[in-house]
Amino acid sequence: MKDTRRKLPGAVGLAAGAVGAAGMTLLGLGVALPPVAGAATSGGSHTYTATLAPVPKNGQTGASGTLKLVLTGTKATITEHVTGLGATFTGKPYPHVQHIHGLAKGVCPTTSTKTTTGVISTGDASPTYGGILTTLSVTPGGTKATPTGANIAIAPSGGSFTYSRTITLNATTMKAIQTNNAVIVVHGLTPKTAPKAAATLKSTVPGTTKFPLAATAPAICGKLVASQVSSVPSGAPQTGGGSTAGTQDVVLFGVGGGLLVAGAGLLVMRRRINTSNR
């Protein structure tokens, strides 16, 4: 009978190669990582959002808004919708000046914000959200901080409005946005719901001192934050919180699958060898 036992090492080597090949192939599939949560980007653009809520003490509890800012280089495309603001002012649509404030504490006023009048004025809120960096005026109004920031003629108006415009941001505004220190503020209080002082006192903002305090006090405010994305491909592991969460399981599954395939091959080859030795 022909001795075929020397063929066993070669067969084992072949099977081992199959293990390596199967393992590497599956490992190659296993190293694909799921996306990491972070600022939403598209084609070099970065998206930021703000949820605008009533400023405490100022009586604008029915007002709210949302804003999205898509930043591409220094170009910002802004879309915003607000509702529940003061609708009329001296018989005309109420102008609501609005701005990107920043480089202070990077937050909106709270109930602990100090005020001597019972109304949180622009001056009271400045230590919290900072000065005007960019004015969000209607086209073709300017966007500089001064004197544009107080120009009611180029402000969106009415109790509710949708705002859409693409503007170029200055370096200071860019810094505030990118360092998480930018806040969106819409000014102008509804006299009927604002504290009495808002109607009886005058504004202290330069260029608006002939208007009541209600005209320039902040109505709604929201911190501008990077939009977050957190999507995982269908069927991917859902455990863990890091960027490599679940990868170890995928790799181990791949190696295990490779060993099972190779093991089946070894079993078949050993049976053939044992049969030929009989």
Domains of the chain with CATH codes: 39-229 (2.60.40.200)
Each residue's pLDDT tens digit, 20-38: 444 433 333 333 333 333 4
Cα 124 from chain centroid (whole Å):
28
Residue listed under structure tokens 């909106």: 108
Each residue's pLDDT tens digit, 71-118: 999 999 999 999 999 999 888 999 999 999 999 999 999 999 999 999
Indicate the pLDDT class of residue 122, thresholds 50, 70 and 90: very high
Indicate the pLDDT class of residue 209, thresholds 50, 70 and 90: very high
Cβ burial of 97 (10 Å; 0-12, 13-18, 19+) is buried
Please report, for the chain, how many H helices and E strands are present, in that order: 5, 14
Return phi, psi of residue 103, to 5°: 65, 35
Rg (CA), the chain: 32
**For a pLDDT cut of 70, what percent of the chain falls above it?**
67
Q: How far apart are CA 208 and CA 221, in angstroms?
A: 20
> What is the pLDDT at residue 228?
75
Against a cut of 0.85, is the pTM above it?
Answer: no
The amino acid sitting at 96 is H
Q: How far apart are CA 100 and CA 67, in angstroms?
A: 11
The pLDDT of 224-237, averaged and rounded, is: 58
For residue 219, give the H/E element and its range. strand 218-223
> What is the pLDDT at residue 39?
58
**DSSP of 133-176:** EEE-PPTT----STTGGG-GGGS-BSSSEEEEEEEEPPHHHHHH
Average pLDDT along the chain: 78
Given a cut of 70, whether residue 233 has pLDDT beyond it is no
Asked if 219 contacts 60 with a C-beta cutoff of 8 angstroms, the reply is yes
> What is the pLDDT at residue 250?
32
Asked if 85 contacts 60 with a C-beta cutoff of 8 angstroms, the reply is yes
Of residues 252 and 153, more confidently modeled: 153
